[in-house]
Amino acid sequence: MGKKSFLRSESLSNISDKAINTIHLLTILVFSAGLSAGFLVSVSGFELKYQYVRTVFLAFLLALGTTIALSIWLFTCMKKNRVLKSDWLFLALIVPLYLLIAVAAISAIFTVKTTIISEGVAQTRAKVFYPLFIMLPLGLANSLACYYFYLKPLILERNRRSEEKMGGRKSFEDDKG
């Protein structure tokens, strides 16, 4: 019951299966794009005079833009369906991801060095401590928190409804035996 404390109980019974699937997919995509953006900036840095770094930096900007756009879409979907008790809960769950990206960008300034190996070929040396040992575990912990705070109760409600629609039967194989 404590897991449902973040959700509005009246909206839990009124939300459609399509909205549940949309919220689930958008949450996964927001965290995937956000962590990708953090890794890209951690690997490439900001020395934009090299073609490789410019390309990876553009991929970083694309992933960051995708994260922002999907976060807005997720927020509007959750607001429309009145899933969370407060809009501040959404910010409390999603802001740590943006903080991880910001710290990755700031640390890339100091830890990523780009050198030229030969004509036009650049080599980037990045320290992988932050992306692998800090950003990845904290990002996964943040996504697990989102799962337990609002996704799991929504998915359990959807499964309960589908079970009721089937008349209590769990699967087709139960009838074969």
pLDDT at 11: 83
Over the stretch 141-151, which tens digit does the pLDDT of each residue have?
Answer: 999 999 999 99
Phi, psi dihedrals of residue 114, rounded to the nearest 5°? -115, 130
Which residues of the chain are modeled with pLDDT < 50?
Answer: 1-4, 175, 177
What is the DSSP secondary-structure string of 104-136? Answer: HHHHHHHH-EEEEEETTEEEEE---HIIIIIIH
pLDDT at 177: 47
- Residue whose structure tokens are 């991880």: 100
pLDDT at 170: 57
